[in-house]
Chains A and B, each alone.
Chain A
Amino acid sequence: QVQLVQSGAEVKKPGASVKVSCKASGYTFTAHGISWVRQSPRQGLEWMGWISTYSGDTNYAQKFQGRVTMTTDTSTSTAYMELRSLRSDDTAVYYCARDLDGSGVFHYWGQGALVTVSS
């Protein structure tokens, strides 16, 4: 069965960076892209961007341009999302989701990773 297993919770200080991983199993990793979505009580669900696991092409949400980098390691079927220059309002649960072609239809989701930004 399709599974997306994410790394654990992180606590970071303002200005730091965080890198969240998402290990896929149960399907051909390079056949489906990965989107990253975050959720906070204040902002609700926010799409951060998408990466093609086949080509490495990315499409970042305008809000996160310049601050986010999405990568993949096809040898381990793992996707990564790095967010830099963290602020307190980046505190959220970060999800990866399988997204075939960047169309924004998320058939499978990871369990989420809580990132807390606090001094």
Chain B
Amino acid sequence: SSELTQDPAVSVALGQTVRITCQGDSLRRYYASWYQQKPGQAPVLVFSGKNNRPSGIPDRFSGSSSGSTASLTITGAQAEDEADYYCSSRDSSGTDVVFGGGTKLTVL
């Protein structure tokens, strides 16, 4: 079982803002990383740490954290953002990396 919990599915209207959340005790101590995965493809890093967006990732993707919850916000969601999103971080002991169960984002 994962130490990071995500909502299984979220939907957003085209052009609107959506927040995808990730909950876990270890997030009080460690930052989350966020990955986008489309069918049949490897995951792609879209945000990490306090404020790190890899080159090539649109600035509509942003991350934040408060207490035991990390969030990925997509401001002005596009059709191409429809995908599965996974958070990851260290586990409570700090030794292993753990992933959330993933959130399937549907853009309506």
B-side interface size class = 20 to 34
**Which stretch, B11-19, B66-74, B86-94, touches the partner chain A?**
B86-94
User: A93-106 interface mask toward B, CB cutoff 8 Å, 1 = contact, 0 = none?
Assistant: 00100000000111
Structural contact, B89 and A109, CB atoms closer than 8 A: no
Q: Once the chains are docked, how many angstroms separate the CA of A64 from the CA of B37? A: 24
Q: Please give the number of chain A residues whose Cβ is less than 8 angstroms from any Cβ of chain B in the complex.
A: 18
Structural contact, A46 and B44, CB atoms closer than 8 A: no
From residue A41, how far is it (CB to closest CB) to chain B in Å?
A: 11
Measured CB to CB, the residues of B under 8 A from A are 2, 33, 35, 42-45, 48-49, 54, 86, 88-90, 95-99, 101-102
14 additional A-B pairs beyond A44-B86, A104-B90, A111-B42, beta carbons within 8 Å, are: A44-B2, A44-B101, A44-B102, A47-B96, A47-B98, A47-B99, A59-B95, A95-B43, A104-B88, A104-B97, A105-B33, A107-B45, A107-B54, A109-B44
